[in-house]
Every structure is written in C-alpha cells, then in structure tokens.
Amino acid sequence: MNNIIDGYLNYLVVEKGLSGATLEAYGADLSRFTRFLKANGIKKAGMIDTAVIIKYLIDLRDEEIGARSRGRHLVSIRGFFKFLVSEKIIKTDPARLIDLPKFGLTLPSVLNVEDIRSIIDAPDRSTLLGMRDAAMLELLYAAGLRVSELLGTRVQEINLEAGFVRVFGKGSKERIVPIGTYAKDKIRQYLSTARPLLLKNRASPYLFFGRAGKMMTRQGFWKRLKAYAVLAGCDKNVTPHSFRHSFASHLLEGGADLRAVQMMLGHVDISTTQIYTHVARSHLKKMHEKYHPRG
C-alpha cells in the first residue's frame, strides 16, 4: 500500500501540479487511512470495499473528527481510488457511492480591527526578533496571506517602491497583492536593520526566516502569534488564518468589491470568497441595530 500511495502522490505532482502543502495534506490523510487498514488486517488494495471505507469514516466520527475534516479525508480517498482504477490496480472504485458528510456554512473566525492592531503592536520592536515579527504580522494582515505564503515569500518578491508583494499560492498560481504604508515601513526597517544582523553573514532567499536562514516552520510562527495574542490581551482563538479572514472581512465591510477581494485572496472560484459576505452582512446588521433609530 505504501508503494502505491507513493505512486499516487508522485502522479499528483507530475500530472496535477499540486502544491507542496496540498500534497502534504493528501499524504497525511492516506497515511492515516493506511494505519487503519493495517490495524484491521487489510494488506492489499483489492481487499478494500465500500464497507471498509464507511467503517473508517465512522471511526473518524467516533474520534470527534469534524464533518468538514471527514469530508477532506473522503476526498483524499476518492482521488486515490480513482487513480487505482485508472492504473488498473483495481477493477471497481469502492468509494464512488459514498457521499460527503453534511456540514453547514461555517463562518470564518474574524478579529476586529482593534484586536488586529493590538496583536501587531505586541512585538518588542527594540529587539531584532521583535522587528522581524512585527513586519511578519503586518504583512500577513496587509496582504491577506496564507501562512505558507508568508513564510515562503522571498526577498525579491517584495517591491517596497511600488507597494506590492508577489505571491505564489495554491497550485503555484501567482498573484500580485498591494501592501499598505504600515507594512512597507516595518518591512523597510526590518530589511535595513534587523535582517542583516539576524543572518550573521549567512545568506537566505527568504524575506523572513528561522534558524540558520532556513524557512520558518508553520508551527514556529503559530506559537509566536499565540504568544503575541496573549501579550495583547486578546482572548479569542487567534490563528494565522484569522488574519486572512479578517483581511477579507474588513475590506468588504469597508465597501471593497468582491471580485477585487477574490483576486487578492487568490480564490479561483468566487463562491469561496462569498462566505466573507456573510460576515460582512452580520457586521452591517449589528451596526443597523445599534445605530438606526428603529433598528
């Protein structure tokens, strides 16, 4: 099974051009599925039928894995079995009749402008790491980046004169996103002062980096963000994606065009961006109730 999965992941890279993060997610899902098969004495792909996959999904539910995550696992499994059929490793697809778990609209977690400001102001900018972290947080919010996009940003992809960042998102799709004055100022200070000293005569292609000039890990950045949220006195569940959600929602609340927000987020389908309009409408409804004479 492991060799077949490796073949499938290689196919996703070569034929589908999936990004590293997406590939990592598929690999993790299928590794978990393989462990389940091994625990149940199933050693060959031909031994897997629809009942086995349903039992796996039930086990995920019993482990309190949410409907959305179970849906993602099933998508990974469906793609894998389609590949097995196309490669004539198995004759029929046991996953084809299984429906995705039902889940309703989940509104993104959005921080208000004051929360964002407090967290961005939390790093101690009198220190080298504080200057770096302040610039990272400012860029994360200014451009609505995914954490993988932020950490993967290279020095040449920032244009401070023109005020934009070149981003390579899912599927290595390129987009150009404007950044504001606050981000430009903090990045400029970081580049001129902190970055050379943090590198200690080493070289790194990355705008922001971890140890020895290497790319910072997502877990490492997430921990620093959590610490700054605590320092800022924000008791909400703050994640790197909270900044991206807040970026989109704040733009829409301010009257930005949905298509423009779609382009800045790098969404292929505008229906993905439309979830933020629900957040914006919720905000407007509260404003109406609060300020309208007959709200």
Does 241 qualify as catalytic in the annotation?
yes
**Is-contact 143 182, C-beta < 8 A?**
no
Q: List the domain boundaries for the chain.
A: 2-86, 113-291
Shortest CA distance to 55 belongs to which of 31, 39, 66, 75? 39
DSSP H helices in 40-123: 50-62, 67-86, 113-120
Per annotation, catalytic residue among 170, 218, 226, 283: 170
Per annotation, catalytic residue among 78, 241, 278, 283: 241
Does 146 qualify as catalytic in the annotation?
yes
| Alpha carbons 37 and 8: distance in angstroms, whole number | 17
Longest CA span, the chain: 69
- Is CATH 2.60.40.10 the right assignment for the domain spanning 113-291? no
Claim: this prediction has a pTM higher than 0.85:
no
Task: Give 169's pLDDT tier (boundaries 50, 70, 90).
Answer: confident
Highest mean pLDDT: which range of 114-128, 166-180, 241-255:
114-128
Task: Give 136's pLDDT tier (boundaries 50, 70, 90).
Answer: very high
Report the chain's mean pLDDT, rounded to a whole number: 86
Burial of 121 (0-12, 13-18, 19+ CB in 10 A): middle
Shortest CA distance to 42 belongs to which of 94, 101, 100? 94
**Is-contact 167 266, C-beta < 8 A?**
yes
Does 44 qualify as catalytic in the annotation?
no
Encode pLDDT of 261-293 as tens digits: 888 888 776 666 766 666 656 655 665 566 555
Per annotation, catalytic residue among 73, 125, 186, 244: 244
Determine which helix (DSSP H) or strand (DSSP E) holds 167, and give its type and residue range.
Answer: strand 164-168
**Is-contact 141 247, C-beta < 8 A?**
yes
Does 170 qualify as catalytic in the annotation?
yes
Encode pLDDT of 195-212 as tens digits: 999 999 899 999 999 988
| Alpha carbons 189 and 183: distance in angstroms, whole number | 10
Does 200 qualify as catalytic in the annotation?
no
Q: Which CATH number fits domain 2-86: 1.10.730.10, 3.20.20.60, 1.10.150.130, 3.40.50.150?
A: 1.10.150.130
For the segment 176-189, the average pLDDT, to the nearest whole number, is 94
